[in-house]
Structures are given as C-alpha cells and as structure tokens.
C-alpha cells in the first residue's frame, strides 16, 4: 500500500483531484504476502469498485516477479468529482477473463472468476474555497 492508503486500508481522496501515474499520484496496493497471497494477476482486469458496485476506475496489474505483486489504479479529476464528499465502501477486484495460475498451487481454474484483493472505506473531502 502507498499514499493515500492508510494502514487500515481506508483511502483518502479530494473530490476533483486527479490521482494519475504521470503526476506520481496513482494509487498502489501490494500483495500482503504469505500466508495470504493473491493469485497471479497477469491475466486479470483490475477494477476499483466504489459504493456497492459503482465502478469508476480500472487499472492494470503490475507484476514484479512472483512476490510481491503490485496493483496500480489511476483516477482522473472527472472520476473523483463524480463521487462528491462522503464516506464510501470500496473493493479492489481482479476478474480473470482467461486461464491463469494461482501462485504456489498450480490451480488453473480461474476463467471468469472474481477475486476481491482489498476492501476498505474511501473518505472523499472537498476542496476549500479561499
């Protein structure tokens, strides 16, 4: 995990701000490792779902070796402005559209499967007018 993610998996964003890779503000989650580990994400689509299924962002699985895997999501200012201020539940989800292999098991039964990688609360604040 990295800024703006907190130790309790909560996420703090400002409505209307962008969180994109080109500005170094993308949001990253890291596989927590053994004994809890993610399946091989190289053949998955990553989605940040906010407020019970509202999907506002998709990211790419960035695999660095076998362990740890890092997932990065970018959000545009338009995407964060849709949310408005408030507290929302979020889930970081991997959906496998092809056949993949679970690390350490050799299990290849992942076609069209959904795996929740992280859940938490998203705190969205507004910008203050001066």
Categorize the per-residue pLDDT at 83 as very low, low, confident or very high, splitting at 50, 70 and 90. confident
Average pLDDT over residues 52-65: 62
Average pLDDT over residues 36-63: 74
The domains of the chain are located at 11-125
Q: Which pTM was predicted?
A: 0.77
Categorize the per-residue pLDDT at 44 as very low, low, confident or very high, splitting at 50, 70 and 90. confident
113 pLDDT exceeds 60?
yes
Categorize the per-residue pLDDT at 58 as very low, low, confident or very high, splitting at 50, 70 and 90. low
Which CATH number applies to 11-125? 2.60.40
User: Following DSSP, what letter does each residue of the chain receive, concatenated?
Assistant: --TTB-TTS-EEEETT--B-GGGT--EEEE---TTS-PPP-TTEEEEEEETTTEEEEEEEEEE-SSSSEEEEE-B-HHHHHHH-SEEEEEEEEEEESS----TTT-----TTEEEEEEEEEEEEEPPPP-
């Amino acid at each position: 995990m990295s800024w703006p993610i907190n130790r309790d998996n909560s996420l703090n964003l400002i409505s209307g701000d962008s969180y994109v890779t080109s500005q170094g503000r993308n949001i990253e989650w890291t596989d927590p490792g053994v004994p809890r580990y993610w399946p091989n994400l190289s053949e998955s689509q990553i989605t940040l779902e906010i407020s019970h299924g509202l999907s506002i962002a998709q990211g790419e699985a960035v695999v660095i070796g076998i362990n740890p895997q890092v997932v990065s999501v970018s959000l545009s200012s338009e995407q964060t402005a849709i949310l408005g201020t408030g507290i929302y539940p979020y889930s970081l989800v991997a959906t496998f559209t092809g056949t993949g292999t679970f690390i350490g098991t050799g299990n290849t039964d992942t076609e069209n499967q959904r795996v929740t990688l992280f859940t938490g609360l998203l705190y969205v604040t507004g910008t203050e007018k001066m």
